[in-house]
Structure 1
Amino acid sequence: MKGTRQARVILVHWKRFTGIELDVFSSLKNFCDSYPDYSYHTLSNYLSKKKQPFENDQIRIERKPVLTKLERPDLPTNLFWDIKYAAINWQQSYRIVIERVLTRGDEKDLGIIIAFYGKEKIIGTLKNEIGYLPELIIDKVCKYFRLTKNQLKCYTKTQSQQKHWI
C-alpha cells in the first residue's frame, strides 16, 4: 500500500564473534547508538538506496520486515454456516473454530488453524475443553497429534457416561 510503512527490524550478523552470531535491533538508530563505530547516516543511505544488505569483513546488516500474526484464519465460510462469519471473534471462539475444522474441515483447514492457533493450543483444547467429537474424528485426531484417546476430554467424558443396559 502506498503511504503506509511496514515495521522492520535490523538483523546484524557478526562474522568474527563466537557465541553471538546474530543480533536483532528494533531500529538502525538503536544499533548505531549501541555501536558508535557505525554511522547511522551512512548505513541508512546504503540500505535504503541499494536495497541490499550492508556487508564488510566484520558484519552483515540487513533490514527485514516484521511478521505479524494474522487477525483471522483464512477458513471457508461454509464451516460456519450457522454463525455470522464476519462477527466471529477468532481469539475468544477458538474452541468452536477448532471443533468445526476437526469435524467438518479438510487437511488444508487443519493446517490453517495450526498456523493460526499453534499446535499446543489445539492439543490443550482437545485435552481439556472439547466435550464431544465423533469416534472417527477422535481416531484421526489421536493419530495426527500423537495422542491417546484417554488424553481427550471428549473420550473420557463419553466413557464416564452410563450407557443404557438394553
Structure 2
Amino acid sequence: MEIHIQKRSFFSTKKKDLEGNFVAIKRKKPYIYDMGLKVKVLPEIHPKFFWDTNFILLDWETAYIPIISRIIERGGQNEIDEIIEYYGRKKIVDTIQNEIHFLPNYAIDRATYFFPELKKEEMNCYLNRKDKSYGWI
C-alpha cells in the first residue's frame, strides 16, 4: 500500500467522521484519509445538492445510488463530469439503468441526454413510473 502525505495549508481543516477517518476539506478537492494509508479524491460537488444530509459524513462508496440519482436530477454538466471521474461511466450507466427505482420524467430525459447509450425503455426508473398507462384502464 502506498502512503500519501499531504501538506496542510492555512485554508484546510481536518475533521473526523463517525468511522474514525479524517476528512480534510480544502478549497479545491477534499481528500479522505483512511488511517493515513490511502487517499481518495472526492468529487468537487457543492454541498447544496445534499442539503438533507451531513455532507462531511457522506459515505461516497455505499451511498452511490442516491448520490448519482441526486446529481442526475439536479446537477449540471460539471457535476456529471465529477461523478464520472469518481465512479466511472460504466458504473453510473449501470446504476441508472438497473438500480435507481425512481426518477422524475425530466430527470430521465436528462439521463438520456448526458448518457446517450441509455434507452428509456431499458431503464428501471422509466418502467416503474406511476403515470404509465395500463392496458386494463
- TM-score tier, shorter chain, comes to 0.5 to 0.7
User: Structure 1 residues 135, 94: closer, same or farther in 2, change over 3 A?
Assistant: same
Deviations 1:65-113 (A, max 9, x none): xxx8734211100100000111111000111110111111111001100
For residues 39 and 94 of structure 2, the distance between their equivalents in structure 1, rounded to whole angstroms, comes to 20
Alignment: residue pair count = 100
Letter in 2 for 1:91: E
Aligned partner of 1:100 among 42, 46, 70: 70
Query: Aligned ranges for residues 2-151 of structure 1 at < 5 Å?
Result: 4=5, 70-146=40-116, 147-151=118-122
Deviation, 1:159, is 6.9
2:123 aligned residue: 152
**Structure 1 residues not aligned, in runs of 5+:** 6-67
The alignment yields a C-alpha RMSD, in angstroms, of 2.6
User: Structure 1 residues 140, 69: closer, same or farther in 2, change over 3 A?
Assistant: farther
For residues 78 and 154 of structure 1, the distance between their equivalents in structure 2, rounded to whole angstroms, comes to 24
For residues 130 and 104 of structure 2, the distance between their equivalents in structure 1, rounded to whole angstroms, comes to 13
Instruction: Indicate the structure with greater helix content.
Output: 1
Conserved in 2, the CA contact under 8 Å of 1:73 and 1:112?
Answer: yes
Q: The residue matched to 1:114 in structure 2 has which SS?
A: helix
Structure 1 consecutive aligned stretches of length 4 or more whose deviation exceeds 3 Å = 68-71, 159-163
Deviations 1:31-77 (A, max 9, x none): xxxxxxxxxxxxxxxxxxxxxxxxxxxxxxxxxxxxx8734211100
Identity within the alignment, %: 29
For residues 119 and 109 of structure 1, the distance between their equivalents in structure 2, rounded to whole angstroms, comes to 13
For residues 110 and 91 of structure 1, the distance between their equivalents in structure 2, rounded to whole angstroms, comes to 17
Conserved in 2, the CA contact under 8 Å of 1:98 and 1:113?
Answer: yes
Larger Rg: 1
For residues 67 and 95 of structure 2, the distance between their equivalents in structure 1, rounded to whole angstroms, comes to 11
Deviation, 1:162, is 6.7
Deviation, 1:128, is 1.0
2:30 aligned residue: none
**Structure 2 residues not aligned, in runs of 5+:** 7-37
Q: The residue matched to 1:132 in structure 2 has which SS?
A: coil
